Amino acid sequence: MKPHLIALALVLGATAPALAETLACPDPATAVQVATCPSEEELKYTHTGFCADSARMYGKDKETCASYESYRKAKNIALWESKDGAFQAYISCDLPAGTLNKLKPVSIAVTRQGKLTRLACSYPEGVTFTYRTKAECKVRGDGNCADPAACKADCN
């Protein structure tokens, strides 16, 4: 190929719009747990440090430290990922086995956090799978997932 054609091809390639990507909320039934749940011993130990009198003095998370039960509910979680690893969720270790197999998305929403876009898929039982990207994303429709075809976002 001639040098001027190569240069033109490089310029056109660099200025071409990025390909749009359509993202759908993941199926929790195929999600994979990637971190272990904390043991009761670990939770009691970290509760002592996180909710110590000196920590509360500085105004740290008073609701979580209101009781051990509140702390346990907030911290007894494990990281899960969608089958492809694109979406992540922190899911309660108290969620009964098999519950993820039955969950269907309820809503999808896009928010900006600084330079990142956060695409959040919400499910019953307080489960939210999140995808983060620097691309701009827009939810199709109103974000209601009653119709699974509408439970998607376009990112580019």
- Nearest-CA neighbor of 131 among 119, 139, 123, 122? 119
Per-residue pLDDT tens over the stretch 26-80: 999 999 999 999 999 999 999 988 887 656 555 666 788 889 999 999 999 999 9
Whether residue 91 is predicted with pLDDT greater than 80 in this model: the reply is yes
pTM: 0.81
Task: Give CA–CA dist 52/67, Å, rounded.
Answer: 12
Percentage, residues of the chain above pLDDT 70: 82
For residue 151, the tally of other CB atoms under 10 A from its CB is 22
152 φ, ψ (degrees, to nearest 5): -140, 165
Does an H or E element contain 91, and which?
strand 88-92
Q: What is the mean pLDDT of residues 117-121?
A: 97
